[in-house]
Amino acid sequence: MKAFAYVNAANQQEALAALSTATRGRRLPLAGGTDLLGLMKDYVAEPDVLVNVKNLPAGIAVPAQGLAVIGAAATLTDVADHAALAKTYPALTDAARGVGTPQIRNVGTVGGNLMQRPRCWYFRNEEFHCLKKGGARCFAVEGENQYHAIFGDGPCHIVHPSSLAPPLIAYNARIKVAGPQGEREIEAGTFFLMPDRNMFGETVLEPTELVTEVVIPTPRNVSAATYEVKFKQSHDWSIVTASVALRMSGGGGGVVESARVVLGAVAPVPWRSLPAEQMLKGKRVDEAVAWQAAEAALADARPMSGNGYKVQVAKTALRRAIMKATGAKVV
Ligand SMILES: Cc1cc2nc3c(=O)[nH]c(=O)nc-3n(C[C@H](O)[C@H](O)[C@H](O)COP(=O)(O)OP(=O)(O)OC[C@H]3O[C@@H](n4cnc5c(N)ncnc54)[C@H](O)[C@@H]3O)c2cc1C
Ligand code: SF4
């Protein structure tokens, strides 16, 4: 690991001050370190300065009305174990429970989860100078791509690794960000950027900015769920994950008024499926409708040479997430 200086910021203000002159990759926030330290040990990240951001807001508040607020420094365990959060936002707490191992969840933070870098094995290996590191080619195109994207058409074919992002987008959350120019709020659905808009990062965040909080509107008449497919008993990232939030019509009868459908680990950003949302709208959900929505969601998938299997896995994950949201028991 390359030598670095460490700024132990006591609060958000000190952290922002320490990052105010940051340029890409040279000064980096350090939260739980479960992602960043691995990158540094592999010489993929080589910052000159690390700034402790564990003293950013870490509380979780879930009022009966209004916005739920989750501090960026809340750990994944804080999210997974929060009873009020689980009652109102089960698709989010389920996703948090599925992350890694208890040890990872105990130190990994919400801010770090949204900002974690891709798991592409070429990106993580210092020997491969790929597009994402300023090189001339994507090694996954002709190489090993069984966990890569099935949507997006490149030129970089990563999948976004965050488990929290799909349910946050399904719940229409906003990401609060602070920087030298003050604070701004960004819809979770527009926070992540495709590689053609940001090859060297995955979000809209500037190097001088920090994620400070996530705010989520109170869902009204919404049934939501997350379903993820992993290798059996694995603590690894999901092969595919699906989050759905179904707003049911007020008149009863189980008809979907509107839906938000987000797939994870299928594209460089959490992948919102408008065709599936359209398919669900106005329907009474049963197995057949859930399958139709899953077929619609994957109709435009363009798998690479080694990941065609993910199309069927994604259909199954989405069908099960939809059925789970209706209260059906799924395996
Ligand atoms: C074995 C293993 C399994 C895992 N499985 C999963 C999984 O299934 N799903 C999943 O989603 N993740 C998984 N992870 C990743 C883990 O969840 C994330 O690494 C963790 O949430 C990151 O949080 P952190 O606080 O440790 O971030 P750090 O490692 O400290 O930081 C990660 C990145 O975010 C930046 N950063 C941190 N906080 C902020 C902030 N507030 N504002 C701006 N930038 C910030 C850092 O500069 C760095 O670039 C796994 C990790 C491991 C090691
Ligand atoms: S998928 Fe992206 S990160 Fe991976 S080798 Fe290709 S360009 Fe690099």
- Give the C-alpha separation, 100 to 155, whole Å: 28
Query: With contact defined as beta carbons under 8 Å apart, do 209 and 179 qualify?
Result: yes
Atom number in ligand 1 closest to CA 45: 49
- Whether 116 lines ligand 1, by a CB cut-off of 6 Å, is yes
Q: Which domains does the chain have, with CATH numbers?
A: 222-325 (3.30.390.50)
Backbone phi, psi, residue 169, to 5° = -70, -40
Pocket perturbation via mutation, ligand 1, pick of 11, 19, 35 by most ligand atoms within 8 A of CB: 35
Pocket perturbation via mutation, ligand 1, pick of 99, 202, 226, 236 by most ligand atoms within 8 A of CB: 99
Which two three-digit tokens encode residue 291? Answer: 């399958």
Handedness of CA 279, 282, 285, 287 (dihedral sign): negative
CA 312 to centroid of ligand 1, rounded, Å = 28
Task: State pLDDT tens for residues 297-309.
Answer: 999 999 999 999 9
Does the pLDDT at position 252 exceed 70?
no
Residue with tokens 């989010």: 92
pTM over 0.95: yes
Task: State pLDDT tens for residues 125-173.
Answer: 999 999 999 999 999 999 999 999 999 999 999 999 999 999 999 999 9
Residues with Cβ within 8 Å of 181's Cβ and at least 6 positions away in sequence, in order, are none
In this prediction, residue 17 carries a pLDDT of 97
- Whether 115 lines ligand 1, by a CB cut-off of 6 Å, is yes
Ligand nearest to the CA of 239: 1
Pocket perturbation via mutation, ligand 2, pick of 127, 129, 132 by most ligand atoms within 8 A of CB: 132
How large a percentage of the chain has pLDDT more than 90?
93
- Give the C-alpha separation, 95 to 265, whole Å: 13
- Whether 53 lines ligand 1, by a CB cut-off of 6 Å, is yes
Residue with tokens 């603590």: 235
- The lowest-confidence range among 20-24, 75-79, 141-145, 276-280 is 20-24
Sequence-separated contacts (24+) of 222-225 with Cβ below 8 Å: 222/171, 222/246, 222/247, 222/248, 223/248, 223/325, 223/326, 223/327, 224/89, 224/90, 224/91, 224/167, 224/170, 224/171, 224/325, 225/90, 225/91, 225/94, 225/321, 225/322, 225/324, 225/325
Atom number in ligand 2 closest to CA 155: 7
Handedness of CA 140, 121, 201, 275 (dihedral sign): positive
Three-state secondary-structure class, residue 326? coil
Does the pLDDT at position 292 exceed 70?
yes
> How sure is the predictor about 320, in pLDDT bands with cuts at 50, 70 and 90?
very high
Backbone phi, psi, residue 229, to 5° = -110, 120
Atom 53 of ligand 1, residue of closest alpha carbon: 34
In this prediction, residue 251 carries a pLDDT of 66
- Give the C-alpha separation, 45 to 234, whole Å: 26
- Give the C-alpha separation, 180 to 102, whole Å: 35
Atom 2 of ligand 2, residue of closest alpha carbon: 156
CA 35 to centroid of ligand 1, rounded, Å = 5
Query: With contact defined as beta carbons under 8 Å apart, do 6 and 80 qualify?
Result: no
CA 120 to centroid of ligand 2, rounded, Å = 6
Atom 3 of ligand 2, residue of closest alpha carbon: 123
Task: State pLDDT tens for residues 65-105.
Answer: 889 999 999 999 999 999 999 999 999 999 999 999 999 99
Greater model confidence, 330 or 278: 278
Question: What is 7-58 written as a DSSP string?
Answer: E--SSHHHHHHHHTT--TTTEEEESS-TTHHHHHHTTS---SEEEE-TTS--
| E-strand stretches of the chain | 5-7, 27-30, 49-52, 60-61, 67-71, 174-179, 182-187, 210-217, 222-229, 240-248, 256-264, 271-272
Query: With contact defined as beta carbons under 8 Å apart, do 110 and 102 qualify?
Result: no
- Whether 111 lines ligand 1, by a CB cut-off of 6 Å, is yes
The burial of 268, by beta-carbon neighbours within 10 Å (0-12 exposed, 13-18 middle, 19 or more buried), is given as buried
- Whether 120 lines ligand 2, by a CB cut-off of 6 Å, is yes
Does the pLDDT at position 234 exceed 90?
no
Pocket perturbation via mutation, ligand 2, pick of 119, 120, 145 by most ligand atoms within 8 A of CB: 120
Atom number in ligand 2 closest to CA 141: 6
Query: With contact defined as beta carbons under 8 Å apart, do 148 and 307 qualify?
Result: yes
State the average pLDDT over residues 39-49.
97
> How sure is the predictor about 232, in pLDDT bands with cuts at 50, 70 and 90?
confident
Best CA proximity match to 2, nearest among 51, 31, 39, 52: 39
Does the pLDDT at position 253 exceed 80?
no
- Whether 210 lines ligand 1, by a CB cut-off of 6 Å, is yes
Strands 49-52 and 5-7: parallel
